[in-house]
Amino acid sequence: MQRKIKIVAIVMMVVGLALIGWPFIETTADNALSKQRIGAYEDKVKALPEGTWQEMLAEARVYHQNLDSLRRSVMDPFGIEDYRGASPLSAVGNHDIFAYLWIPKLGERLPVYLSVNSKNLTQGVVLVEGTDIPIGEPGTHTVLAGRRNALTRNWLTNIEKLTVGDQLYLYILNKRITYSVKESAVFWPSENDHYLPSPGSEQLSLLTTTPYPINNQRRLVVAEKIQEKERQASIVRDMERIEKESSMAGSPLHQRNWSIGVSVLVGIALTGLALLLYREIKQ
């Protein structure tokens, strides 16, 4: 009997230690993979022929001219299973990364795709069909949608933490566009007026489902472009700079979601119980 209890105690200890360590291992691996993908994106950008950005701009402007009739019938990206949209730019494939969105407050670095499909929604954020391609021009409203899932990835899970004044950074090719959060709204999927552009301003909004895990409504966080001197930018260098300036304990870049806390608490409890059982056996 004591042998069986000893085995149970050892198993509980192993499971407990695994629960304590796994969230941090997973987070470290995710961060490393994210930086690797970002580095690959920037290498690809450097290899693009001159004039690529101007060609994209011209094609995007034509696309925007045809949006007026579509803005009030925007398709809900979460409402149709297995939907496969097409990229509005010929130079960007359906599964190609068009840009990167960095949200320092949430510690999230998300690839931006121009095509709405289930695969892209599990890997980053997608451009909502019927909204503008982010090209840095006034009178446009870009809406980027992402699934929230607190049990696996952090994609916009903590979007409620974004408040007025928080900044978002969009990296397109080697350019950086900075946005400041202005407001947020919760509405039903059929209410498309929230996607309309504001004359004279350039907006970028984040869209996800709410309340989690019911997800029958939509939450939109609206940010507006900050006028700043245009310059070449690298998301890798910017992140490294911010990480150096921020303390490990207090920086939003190192926040963890509640599932990690639960895993750690359960792991500690199991490990402690296993140690008590093992101690009782030895006595």
DSSP assignment of 236-268 equals HHHHHHHHHHS-TTT-GGG---HHHHHHHHHHH
Q: Are residues 263 and 178 in the same domain?
A: no
Q: Are residues 195 and 123 in the same domain?
A: yes
Residue 254: the pLDDT is 44
Q: Are residues 226 and 115 in the same domain?
A: yes
Residue 4: the pLDDT is 65
Count of alpha carbons within 13 angstroms of residue 202, beta-carbon side:
14
Q: 60 lies in a domain?
A: no
Q: 142 lies in a domain?
A: yes
Q: Are residues 235 and 273 in the same domain?
A: no
Residue 81 belongs to domain with CATH number: 2.40.260.10
Q: 127 lies in a domain?
A: yes
Residue 127: the pLDDT is 96
Residue 36: the pLDDT is 79
> Which amino acid is present at 224?
E
Q: Are residues 152 and 105 in the same domain?
A: yes
DSSP assignment of 35-89 equals HHHHHHHHHHHHTSPTTHHHHHHHHHHHHHHT-TTTGGGPPPTTSSTT-B---SS
Average pLDDT along the chain, 283 residues, taken 10 residues at a time: 62 61 61 75 83 88 84 82 84 92 90 91 91 90 86 74 95 89 96 91 96 91 86 67 52 48 58 60 61
Residue 38: the pLDDT is 80
| DSSP element (H, E) containing 280 | helix 258-282
Q: 25 lies in a domain?
A: yes
Residue 102: the pLDDT is 92
Question: What residue numbers bound the domain in which 77 lies?
Answer: 70-245
Residue 13: the pLDDT is 61
Q: Are residues 145 and 219 in the same domain?
A: yes
Q: 85 lies in a domain?
A: yes
β partners of residue 102: 109, 169
Q: Are residues 13 and 113 in the same domain?
A: no
Residue 255: the pLDDT is 46
Residue 256: the pLDDT is 47
Count up the domains in the chain and report the number: 2
Report yes or no on whether pTM surpasses 0.85: no
